[in-house]
Structure 1
Amino acid sequence: MILNEEAREFLKKKFSKMRREVPIYVFFKKGVNDKYNEFCIQLMKELSEVTPKIRVEVHEIGGELSKRYKVDRSPTVLIDPERYWIRFIGAPAGEEGRSLIETILRVSKDDSGLSQESRRILSELKEERHVMVFVTPACPYCPGQVLNAFSCAIENRKVKAECIESEENIDLAEEYGVGAVPHTVVNGVTTSIGLQPEDEFVRDLLHLRPYHEHREVIEEREEEEEIIETDLLIIGAGPAGLTAAIYASRAGMNPIVIEKEVVGGLVKLTPSIENYPGFERIAGKSLVELMRRQAEKYAHIHENEEAIEIKVGKKIEVVTTRGIYLANAVIAAMGTRPKKLGVRGEEEYYGKGVSYCATCDGYLYKGKRAIVVGGGNTALTDALYLKSIGVDVKIVHRRNEFRAEKYLRDAIQREEIPQMMSSVIKEIRGDGRRVKEVLVENLETGERREIKTEAVFIAIGHEPNSEILREIGVKCDEKGFVIVDNRQRTNIPRIYAAGDITGGVMQIATAVAEGAVAAITSFEDTYKPYWREWGE
């Protein structure tokens, strides 16, 4: 059994919103990916047991039906193939379970769930588009990109959308040069690497080239953007943002949470957490899911929606990729992003061996060589994870000792992972398609060596996502972290900050605490504005 009782109860509630029957066809070929075939067949049968509105058929590849639907890879899952070209090539396991469930719901309603602007853009599409989104089971960003593709296929029948599991389809992944996920290919052309906001994805689909190549000629939006008023807008859905939503709602506010990517932030990428009270050990994505379920009871959470501008007036106006919010207060909990090395070859080979997410892309390098750059908790955690899934990994660190916690240092020694200390990468080299080697310099001796590798995972720290705050005059320190008082207030009234964006120790526990404080403070200030004492 794949679905436990808790999962079945959760899905019963989700599927109660289905409006019509959704047929699902599973195709398989004996002797090819057998364990994934069995998983697919069993999962779909269990889903059909949860609700009578899911009808499952299982067929062997080679029969008339597989020829009719042009299926030649095992396993392949088709969702309502008479109406839509929506398919999983490879088992929808791990994170892709989310995109599977959401797609079934949207298909049952024949509603893409896209914004009005995205629908308008797609209505201009007159030619067919074949979209392939390459994924791995552990990538938390992949389901969002898959949903972008599947939603477009629901909205416009000229779009054919496929989610391709890279490990089960290595030949396809190599053919399209997949080195990081999600990797999106449209009509044979790579249009993006990484999760895109919905509007970017739709425009790429229309223009058949990457967003950055056509954004300067994008016309102004023709339709008036939706304006949403709310007590409190929380930007960011990591532990700080989710906690703020819970506390704000319980205080009597009506919070809305928007998230540029997916709920959970960097926590979702952590394989194992052992220092969060109440859990001796828990996977990051499991902890995030618990937080998410609780927060959703108190607030609306909008994923894949980026805040792009803030304006301070009588109310605080926040312009996003989907609309405009007018809020009495804003909590900024946008967190951080990985730092870059800044060496030759890093940009050129991003997605071709250079990665900032071992959890997302590690599966692509099983049985291959990889280098992890860094010496903190993230770097050592990445190295241990890569070793555990069969990657031949080495660590390169610029200092002569690691700064990570002792239990991680001990684990590295126990696993006998090779280390190149007091060393830095000077250049990342390849053949134009893939990383082939790195040039490493020993800082003590000056010696330079060429190290053969297929991947470079960079984990040298993080920098804050505070740009839109700095643009309106929010004070930040020299590294860009937001400066707050002991109540999480910034220097601009009604704007608060919480979590990693404020710097400090940057732990889950402190992010949760800051989120709670920010929510309580915003509530109190809304009803008793402290700044009025200044004569404002």
Structure 2
Amino acid sequence: MQSVHSTAINKTIRENDGRVIRMMFTTSQQDAIRTRLADLARPVVIKFFETSLDCPTCPEIRRLLQEVADLSDHVTLEVYNLYTDDEEARRYGVDKAPAIVLTDEQGENYGIRFYGAPSGYEFATLLEDIRMVADGASGLSDTTKARLAELKHPVDLKVFVTPTCPYCPAAVRLAHQFALESPLVTASMVEATEFPEWANRFNVYGVPKTVINDSEAWSLEGAAPEAMLLEQVMQTQA
């Protein structure tokens, strides 16, 4: 797939009436995104939670998501205010902005979240997650699926990333696969530079870092393979 990393995307085009509009994607990048989202099995809704207070990246993220939605007939963007739409935020467990939640057309909560901009390498993760939600299949091994079915208690995964980290998408993608597979798992990408207090709380000095159930005892540094993350998750059930 052609690279569509959003950090290097900005193109100005002029409409017939002379107005200048700044686009996030070049024409070739639009074509690549349109192709990637062309054959979705079912509609996907991007729920974006923003605030006008202390969220300098919210307008840019909103524009990015709108352009993605405009490139597919099967993707819809819904925008909410974190504070005035607090009931919707509570429904999806969102308590910070900017935040992105992916659902199906009925609003099913799969526990898949992005805190911060899905920029740089993470933009491809967003596209892959949209496809995963549309397909309704995690793509995990049968062994992992069987063991996740044994979960008795909720599991929360936070994967700290930065836009320039080439190893982070694999960690985020795996966590989101776990969330789609099990209703007891929630998984959030956290952009460390946008949420420094959160990153400091969990001693994030390198990325990716996965924190399980807000405990340093269950943290994993680096892009852990599926079996390793599974073992850590299952140990939380003891």
TM-score, length-scaled by structure 2: 0.83
Is the contact made by 2:92 and 2:109 (CA closer than 8 Å) also made in structure 1? no
Q: CA deviation at 1:8?
A: 1.3
* 1:205 has 2:233 as partner: yes
* 1:152 has 2:178 as partner: yes
Is the contact made by 1:121 and 1:203 (CA closer than 8 Å) also made in structure 2? no
Question: Which residues of structure 1 form unaligned runs of 5+?
Answer: 210-536
Name the aligned partner's letter for residue 84 of structure 2: G
Distance 1:25 1:110 in 2: 18
* 1:86 has 2:108 as partner: no
Is the contact made by 2:44 and 2:74 (CA closer than 8 Å) also made in structure 1? yes
Q: CA deviation at 1:202?
A: 1.7
- Residue of structure 1 equivalent to 2:33: 11
Name the aligned partner's letter for residue 151 of structure 2: L
- Residue of structure 2 equivalent to 1:69: 92
Distance 1:183 1:203 in 2: 16
- Residue of structure 2 equivalent to 1:414: none
- Residue of structure 1 equivalent to 2:135: 109
* 1:32 has 2:32 as partner: no
- Residue of structure 2 equivalent to 1:141: 167
Distance 1:31 1:63 in 2: 12
How big is the alpha-carbon RMSD for the aligned residues of Structure 1 and Structure 2? 1.4
- Residue of structure 1 equivalent to 2:198: 172
What are the superposed Cα offsets for residues 74-118 of structure 1, whole Å, 9 maximum, x if unpaired?
211111152311110111111111111111100001100111222
What are the superposed Cα offsets for residues 295-320 of structure 1, whole Å, 9 maximum, x if unpaired?
xxxxxxxxxxxxxxxxxxxxxxxxxx
For the residue of structure 1 that corresponds to 2:120, the secondary structure is: coil
Work out the number of aligned pairs and report it: 208
Q: CA deviation at 1:68?
A: 3.4
Is the contact made by 1:33 and 1:168 (CA closer than 8 Å) also made in structure 2? no
Is the contact made by 2:92 and 2:111 (CA closer than 8 Å) also made in structure 1? no
Q: CA deviation at 1:31?
A: 2.9
- Residue of structure 1 equivalent to 2:16: none
Q: CA deviation at 1:149?
A: 0.5
- Residue of structure 2 equivalent to 1:98: 124
Distance 1:188 1:48 in 2: 33
Name the aligned partner's letter for residue 97 of structure 1: F
Name the aligned partner's letter for residue 74 of structure 1: A
Q: CA deviation at 1:185?
A: 0.6
For the residue of structure 2 that corresponds to 1:38, the secondary structure is: helix
Q: CA deviation at 1:66?
A: 2.4
- Residue of structure 1 equivalent to 2:3: none
Higher relative contact order (CA 8 A, sep 6+): 2
Distance 1:56 1:49 in 2: 9
For the residue of structure 2 that corresponds to 1:160, the secondary structure is: strand
Q: Find 2:79's aligned residue among 50, 58, 79.
A: 58
Name the aligned partner's letter for residue 30 of structure 2: R
Q: CA deviation at 1:48?
A: 0.9
Question: Which residues of structure 2 form unaligned runs of 5+?
Answer: 1-22
Q: Percent same amino acid at aligned positions? A: 31
Q: CA deviation at 1:60?
A: 1.1
Distance 1:70 1:29 in 2: 16
For the residue of structure 1 that corresponds to 2:205, the secondary structure is: coil
Distance 2:95 2:69 in 1: 24
- Residue of structure 2 equivalent to 1:439: none
Is the contact made by 2:115 and 2:189 (CA closer than 8 Å) also made in structure 1? yes
Q: Find 2:222's aligned residue among 150, 173, 194.
A: 194
Counterpart mapping for 1:433-448 below 5 A: none
Distance 1:3 1:56 in 2: 17
TM-score, length-scaled by structure 1: 0.38
Name the aligned partner's letter for residue 137 of structure 1: P
Distance 2:43 2:76 in 1: 7
What are the superposed Cα offsets for residues 418-446 of structure 1, whole Å, 9 maximum, x if unpaired?
xxxxxxxxxxxxxxxxxxxxxxxxxxxxx
Distance 2:230 2:149 in 1: 11
Distance 1:67 1:192 in 2: 28
Q: CA deviation at 1:10?
A: 1.1
Distance 1:186 1:202 in 2: 11
Counterpart mapping for 1:117-516 below 5 A: 117-190=143-216, 191-208=219-236
Name the aligned partner's letter for residue 73 of structure 2: P
Is the contact made by 2:47 and 2:77 (CA closer than 8 Å) also made in structure 1? yes
1:83/1:69 CA distance change after superposition, 3 Å = closer
For the residue of structure 2 that corresponds to 1:16, the secondary structure is: coil
Q: CA deviation at 1:49?
A: 0.9
For the residue of structure 1 that corresponds to 2:79, the secondary structure is: strand
